[in-house]
């Protein structure tokens, strides 16, 4: 019996589409071991849809999708037609019916539904995880995290951890200081889930001076001096190279931009893994 393969595509989490796909699959496969579900969450770019369509064609998968933006739905339908892929739109027909009846236009903004369901509790769990394993408080969190952030002081590790936690990623962050040996756990994890945050000495100098002033201290402390900052950055690169992690320059990036870079890389690695499995 051939394995029944589904690609779940969503601009949100995709849990609803996966449940529908499982309900449908159960009518054909009593043994769910013969059913494969691959979820692609937070898909917001047409380039991602092209990659997913190509992979679905290679694996002979059915695409089940919940995309609120009409332009994305149209793109996916076009791509599925080009690649002769079976696809099912779960949201589009309902949105069309409501639009026809009310004569109102949908907002087309992903993630507006907020319910006390499993997804909600996953989000709360991720937020609590980020708080518990913030700033290297317990290195054991590094082993259980979806994402590990490393960087010197004032590189936005904590706000980035919280932002990613709201996207349901369990994040641990570890500060790097030349005088303190990094936890050994950093060197035993998959480097693909570790991201190093670096910043230019000039930008960090300004940020640290403002921080000192906000604390009522003089801004000429060693903490804010360029020589000290360059020493810390050199130590950061030494550790990052040893881990083999991706390094992201956050000098001119908002937290949201850095988060998007990380999520995009994680999605790309998922695509690459599926490609390897095909070979």
What does the pLDDT profile of the chain (279 residues) look like in tens digits? Answer: 688 999 999 998 888 899 999 999 999 988 878 999 999 999 999 999 999 999 999 999 999 999 999 999 999 999 999 999 999 999 999 999 999 999 999 989 887 765 456 677 888 999 999 999 999 999 999 999 999 999 999 999 999 999 999 999 999 999 999 999 999 999 999 999 999 999 999 999 999 999 899 888 888 888 999 999 999 999 999 999 999 999 999 999 999 999 999 999 998 888 888 888 777
CB 130 within 8 A of CB 31: no
**Cβ neighbours of residue 249 under 8 Å, at least 6 residues apart?**
198, 199, 200
Place of tokens 């040893």: 242
Shared domain check, 195 and 260: yes
Exposed, middle or buried: residue 244 (CB in 10 Å: 0-12, 13-18, 19+)?
Answer: exposed
Q: How far apart are CA 238 and CA 274, in angstroms?
A: 32
Shared domain check, 123 and 105: no
54 within a domain of the structure (yes/no): yes
Shared domain check, 163 and 264: yes
Instruction: Report the CATH number that the domain containing residue 257 is assigned in CATH.
Output: 3.40.50
Shared domain check, 197 and 157: yes
Structural domain of residue 17, as residue ranges? 4-113
Q: How many domains does the chain have?
A: 2
146 within a domain of the structure (yes/no): yes
Shared domain check, 108 and 122: no
275 within a domain of the structure (yes/no): no
The pTM score is 0.62
């Amino acid at each position: 019996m051939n394995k029944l393969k589904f690609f779940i595509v969503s601009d949100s989490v995709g849990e609803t589409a996966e449940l529908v796909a499982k309900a449908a699959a159960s009518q054909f496969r009593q043994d769910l071991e013969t059913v494969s579900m691959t979820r692609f969450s937070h898909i917001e770019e047409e380039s991602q849809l092209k990659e997913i369509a190509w992979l679905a064609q290679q694996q002979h998968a059915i695409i089940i999708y919940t995309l609120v933006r009409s332009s994305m739905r149209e793109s996916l339908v076009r791509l599925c037609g080009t690649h002769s892929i079976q696809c099912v739109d779960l949201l589009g027909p309902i949105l069309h019916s409501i639009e026809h009846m009310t004569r109102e236009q949908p907002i087309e903004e992903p993630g507006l539904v907020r319910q006390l369901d499993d997804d909600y509790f996953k989000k709360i769990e991720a937020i609590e995880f980020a708080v518990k394993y913030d700033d290297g408080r317990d290195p054991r969190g590094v082993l259980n995290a979806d994402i590990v952030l490393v960087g010197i002081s004032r590189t936005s590790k904590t706000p980035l951890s919280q932002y990613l936690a709201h996207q349901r990623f369990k994040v641990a962050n570890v500060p790097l200081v030349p005088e303190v040996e990094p936890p050994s756990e950093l060197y035993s994890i998959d480097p693909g889930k570790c991201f190093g945050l670096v910043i230019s000495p000039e930008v960090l100098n300004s940020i640290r001076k403002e921080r000192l002033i906000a604390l009522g201290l003089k801004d000429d402390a060693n903490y804010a001096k360029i020589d000290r900052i360059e020493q810390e950055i050199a130590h950061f690169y030494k550790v990052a190279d040893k881990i083999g992690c991706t390094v992201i320059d956050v000098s001119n990036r908002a937290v949201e931009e850095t988060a998007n870079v990380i999520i995009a890389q994680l999605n790309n690695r998922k695509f690459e893994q599926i490609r390897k499995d095909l070979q």
